[in-house]
Amino acid sequence: MTTVVPSFALTGLAPALLAELTAQGITEPFPIQSATLPDSLAGRDVLGRGRTGSGKTLAFGLPLLSRTAGRRARPGRPLALVLVPTRELAQQVTTALDPYARAVGLRCATVVGGLSLQRQADALRAGAELVVATPGRLHDLINRGDARLDQVGITVLDEADQMADMGFLPQVTKLLEQVAPNGQRMLFSATLDGGVDKLVRRFLSNPVSHSVDPGTATVTAMTHHVLHVDAVDKPTALTWIAAREGRTILFMGTKHRADRLARQLLSKGVRAAALHGGKSQPQRTRILEQFRTGQVTALVATDVAARGIHVDGLDMVVNVDPPAEAKDYLHRGGRTARAGESGTVVTLVLPEQRRDVSRLMSTAGIRPESVQVRSGDEALARVTGAREPSGVPVTIAPPAPQAASAGSAGGRSAGRAGEGGRAPHRASGRPRRSRRPRAPHAS
């Protein structure tokens, strides 16, 4: 039976990491960390499953950094690799691990699409012990000759099941074929299913499995509500919910509907913005920063934000469009009630959606409170804090572009550790084109 450690001091982590944990105000490990650290620090292959917000980033990040400390990477030859499915999650992981990496003298590089390929290539060639990457962009850099993985001794797949769902398995497989064959592999996710099994069977050697929550566990500090609403009442009820005090994420099924709802909310006086895969990476980073700082209070998002987004104090998630699967519901809901905080998940359900949503809740193991609502109802205000919007249109001023920094090129940025943290500021990464003087017209 694997040992479960009650404190970080008993894990055998590098002293500099223990000191940084104390400096960050982190005194006790979360269950997923207590369960996995003894095996991961011993170099064993690990399968770790815990609900979103449970502390998986430190669970794999601390042993990765502790076991890599004291080594130096050659240009373009990283020693450790974390693969993630989305740009937002890559930024979050980098931000969470960066203070600990600096504590032990390791360099981090973030490799994602949507930002300057050349800057990322330069960061790799400058030397980085740890690379946090999305599969597609890392493939691009390898094909250019800017990176090789043969020195990677520790490989982590974070949110492995989402990478499988998003069709990344062929790319992930090719990347895993290139890392050091006898290295350590760790897979962490809220669920371990589907195509992940193929990766486990092929690339992990005698892995030890730790599951601190059932695969469809609900977060105990989270309350679930189904609001039955008629189609004619839904737009107004939704606007009242979005106008509540505090920050709210509203999930939509498509980016076009997300953009339309954000515009509608702005016209009613709600400080809203849309976040989806159709936005450029600098736009997505700036919108998230506006949401974190309160400039935006209603974030209208597609499932691009269902994983890898952490905002302190976010207490409500609204499913404007019910998700297609139970695990999508859990990942959306996992944006709230993180790290022991409380939160509420609200799902708006039209009459024709009732049967499908009831089946989804049953699969997820959730027994929500159900109520019929209309805008202005006492029940709507009681469950969501809904209030009438001002009706005065608002405009969200775009934030000033951030200057290029080491963070934009190599992913170096200070921030709070743990599963969350503030995303680093990013510049667009596109070189400015010098304007040629226009030739005068002949007369």
CATH number at residue 165: 3.40.50.300
The pair of three-digit structure tokens given for residue 360, joined into one six-digit string: 């989804």
Residues 149 and 184 in one domain: yes
What are the backbone angles phi and psi of residue 112, rounded to the nearest 5°? -140, 160
* Residue 216 neighbours by CB under 8 Å, 6+ apart: 191, 326, 327, 330, 363, 364, 365
Residues 269 and 137 in one domain: no
For 245-269, the pLDDT digits (tens) are 988 999 999 999 999 999 999 999 9
Residues 266 and 188 in one domain: no
Domain tally for the chain? 2
- Could you give the dihedral angle defined by the CA atoms of residues 169, 173, 179 and 184, in that order, rounded to the nearest 10 degrees? 70
245 in a domain, yes or no? yes
CB 190 within 8 A of CB 330: yes
Residues 347 and 238 in one domain: yes
Q: What pLDDT, on the 0 to 100 scale, is given for residue 243?
A: 96
Question: What pTM, to 2 d.p., does this model score?
Answer: 0.66
Per-residue DSSP letter, 238: H
Q: Which residue has the tokens 């990347």?
A: 175
Q: What pLDDT, on the 0 to 100 scale, is given for residue 185?
A: 97
Q: What pLDDT, on the 0 to 100 scale, is given for residue 329?
A: 85
CB 37 within 8 A of CB 198: no
In 327-430, at which residue ranges do the beta strands (DSSP E only) sit?
Answer: 343-349, 369-372
**With a cut of 50, which residues of the chain have pLDDT below it?**
1, 214-220, 339-340, 402-443
CA-CA distance, 195 to 122, in Å (whole number)?
A: 34
Residues 196 and 272 in one domain: no
Angle, nearest 10°, between helix axes 135-143 and 117-125? Answer: 70
For 184-231, the pLDDT digits (tens) are 999 987 666 667 888 888 899 999 998 875 444 444 457 899 999 999
Q: What pLDDT, on the 0 to 100 scale, is given for residue 410?
A: 40
Residues 85 and 199 in one domain: yes
421 in a domain, yes or no? no
Q: What pLDDT, on the 0 to 100 scale, is given for residue 21?
A: 94
What are the backbone angles phi and psi of residue 375, rounded to the nearest 5°? -60, 140
431 in a domain, yes or no? no
Q: What pLDDT, on the 0 to 100 scale, is given for residue 87?
A: 87
349 in a domain, yes or no? yes
Domain that holds residue 76: 8-215+405-410
Q: What pLDDT, on the 0 to 100 scale, is given for residue 341?
A: 58
- Report in angstroms the alpha-carbon separations of 103 from 65, 100, 126, 175, 398: 10, 5, 19, 28, 35
CA-CA distance, 276 to 278, in Å (whole number)?
A: 5
* Residue 34 neighbours by CB under 8 Å, 6+ apart: 4, 5, 6
For 418-439, the pLDDT digits (tens) are 333 333 333 333 333 333 333 3
Q: What pLDDT, on the 0 to 100 scale, is given for residue 125?
A: 94
Q: What pLDDT, on the 0 to 100 scale, is given for residue 377?
A: 85
SS3 content of the chain, % helix, strand, coil (to 5): 35, 15, 50
Q: What pLDDT, on the 0 to 100 scale, is given for residue 322?
A: 93
CB 288 within 8 A of CB 276: no
Q: Rg of the Cα trace of the chain?
A: 23
Residues 156 and 278 in one domain: no
